[in-house]
Chain A
Amino acid sequence: NAGVTQTPKFRILKIGQSMTLQCTQDMNHNYMYWYRQDPGMGLKLIYYSVGAGITDKGEVPNGYNVSRSTTEDFPLRLELAAPSQTSVYFCASSPVRPEAFFGQGTRLTVV
């Protein structure tokens, strides 16, 4: 059972470039989340989804977009990368209870 899988694990972007962080889960969870983790900080919620076709903003959504066309996939899009988006990004999923299961993370550097 793979759980939550994120790709890529590492990426370096130039300012202004765009990219999509992929996230897929095989646990049939309705809820999926994207968090970012800055050094020495806790996780901040970017976007979340309660099911296919339904997404909503979290605490720090600016500069990001998401879509949820299937239960399994929840990609995160960065349209115009900025240095402030340098961070480690975690995707997570959960069943009805808020016991989120996390992926291994994507370490993104914007230069």
Chain B
Amino acid sequence: GQQLNQSPQSMFIQEGEDVSMNCTSSSIFNTWLWYKQDPGEGPVLLIALYKAGELTSNGRLTAQFGITRKDSFLNISASIPSDVGIYFCAGQTPVGKSNFGNEKLTFGTGTRLTIIP
């Protein structure tokens, strides 16, 4: 099946630093999503990207849909303690056999963000 390579696997930064992470795929996706997961919780959607080249912000978070449709990146500016968690990218492409428009997500393996005091 499709695979998403997410990097880095982990990051250790100081509060106030900017963060950058990315996802790459060998396949083309129609949509890129970025999620954050806190310990013991389900993933929460941060940003959704629907068009190649799209650049979208959500507060201190900025994400871009790569022109090739095979990659996406997420930046976090001026990190704060509550940014700690695991960030997942997810790519979506329509199910070929379905006419229902259902679209399954392929998830990356996550980037674990730790903020050093």
Contacts and interface: CB of A to CB of B under 8 A. Distances in A.
A98 B109 contact: no
Contact of A96 (B41, B92, B101, B107): B101
Given A50-B100, A98-B33, A42 B88 contact: yes
A74 interface: no
**Which among A40, A42, A99 has the greatest number of chain B C-beta atoms within 10 A?**
A42
Interface string B57-82: 00000000000000000000000000
Interface residues of A, number: 29
B24 interface: no
A75 B103 CA distance: 20
Nearest to B93: A98
B44 interface: yes
Contacts of B103: 98
B105 A45 contact: yes
A7 B84 CA distance: 26
Interface stretch (A65-73, A79-87, A102-110): A102-110
Interface of B: 1, 4, 6, 31, 33, 35, 40-45, 48, 88, 92, 98, 100-105, 107-110
Interface of A: 4, 31, 33, 35, 40-45, 48, 50-51, 54, 56, 58-59, 90, 92, 96-105
6 contacts: A35-B107, A40-B109, A48-B102, A50-B98, A102-B35, A105-B41
